[in-house]
């Protein structure tokens, strides 16, 4: 059984995207079993320790833990990961640990920039912007308080049609859809940006989305293969792909969320199945 740590980069805050709002993801992973009925994954969900700027008690010793994977959700705007934690995460990957990082628009998850090997795969508003100047513009014009990168793939609670890159990566395969690939994933009005850094030979884009407002394509997920020094990693454009709220808006959201919501994820069986497949494929591949 593989052990997975689901963790946010903030301490518990009731009116924010704390780890308690990722409970459906945790349940799907925990309930997964093999053909013999044995559970595949043990899941631990937690927020950062609430100790100001102190090192997180788990992340600072992650390489000495029995975790096989870290799924890190960047809901901070800086200061969400300390230098000691970054070093421990690098050692964790060096011993073969799998890492998933997922952030969101503008400068959310800004602390990811300090992660060795994949930090510069994340593009922010104030640091490491997208290399194409034409993309340094607002995409989601419906929420004026949020700036780029903010690709509008649809309402919270709805789904988006995604484009899977060839050859199909194992994370994006589906044994149910006739196409053999995942076709639908949760949408979000302002997704973040990522790309494979120049000179990286062991990473590639595995799936893209597109803006319903401008038609711009954006990278939804990147996969990094082991390179002899670091284990496998996934860089995902928005933690909203994993939130209870985006799977079922009736489960609630922080008070600062004001955008209209949809019901596509609740009403479309394929969207729900494809999303669950995405979660499970990620856990299998990162193992």
Share of the chain above pLDDT 90, in %: 96
Q: What is the CA radius of gyration of the chain?
A: 17
CA distance 57 to 41: 22
With tokens 């997920």, the residue in question is: 221
**Could you give the dihedral angle defined by the CA atoms of residues 88, 102, 162 and 265, in that order, rounded to the nearest 10 degrees?**
130
pLDDT digits (tens, 9 = 90+) for 225-271: 998 889 999 999 999 999 999 999 999 999 999 999 999 999 999 99
Domains belonging to the chain, first-starting first, are 2-286 (3.40.50.880)
CA distance 190 to 158: 13
pLDDT at site 51: 74
With tokens 């999303």, the residue in question is: 275
Q: How far apart are the first and last CA of the chain?
A: 10
pLDDT digits (tens, 9 = 90+) for 173-217: 999 999 999 999 999 999 999 999 999 999 999 999 999 999 999
pLDDT digits (tens, 9 = 90+) for 61-107: 999 999 999 999 999 998 899 999 999 999 999 999 999 999 999 99
Instruction: Tell if the pTM clears 0.95, that is, is over it.
Output: yes
Averaged pLDDT for residues 49-56: 84
The residues that bridge with 70 in the sheet, in sequence order, are: 5, 99
- Burial of 261-272, coded b for 16+ CB within 10 Å and e otherwise, reads ebebbeeeeebb
């Amino acid at each position: 059984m593989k052990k997975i740590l689901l963790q946010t980069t903030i301490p518990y805050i009731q009116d924010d995207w704390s780890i308690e709002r990722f409970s459906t993801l945790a349940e799907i992973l925990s309930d997964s079993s093999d053909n013999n009925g044995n559970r595949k994954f043990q899941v631990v969900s937690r927020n950062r320790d609430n100790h100001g700027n102190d090192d997180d008690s788990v992340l600072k010793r992650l390489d000495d833990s029995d975790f096989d994977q870290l799924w890190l959700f960047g809901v901070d705007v800086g200061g969400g990961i300390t230098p000691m934690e970054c070093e421990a995460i690098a050692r964790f990957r060096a011993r073969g640990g799998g890492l998933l990082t997922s952030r969101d628009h503008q400068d959310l998850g800004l602390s990811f920039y300090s992660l060795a090997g994949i930090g510069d795969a994340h593009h922010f508003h104030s640091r490491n912007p997208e290399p194409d100047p034409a993309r340094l513009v607002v995409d989601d014009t419906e929420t004026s308080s949020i700036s780029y990168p903010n690709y509008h793939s649809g309402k919270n609670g709805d789904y988006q049609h995604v484009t899977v890159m060839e050859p199909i990566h194992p994370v994006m395969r589906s044994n149910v859809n006739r196409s053999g690939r995942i076709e639908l994933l949760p949408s979000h009005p302002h997704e973040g940006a990522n790309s494979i850094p120049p000179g990286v030979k062991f990473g590639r884009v595995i799936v893209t989305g597109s803006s319903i407002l401008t038609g711009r394509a954006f990278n939804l997920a990147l996969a990094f293969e082991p390179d002899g020094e670091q284990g496998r990693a996934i860089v995902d454009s928005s933690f909203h792909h994993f939130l209870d709220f985006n799977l079922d808006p009736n489960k609630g959201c922080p008070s600062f969320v004001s955008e209209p919501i949809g019901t596509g994820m609740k009403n479309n069986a394929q969207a729900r199945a494809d999303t669950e497949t995405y979660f499970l494929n990620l856990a299998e591949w990162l193992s």
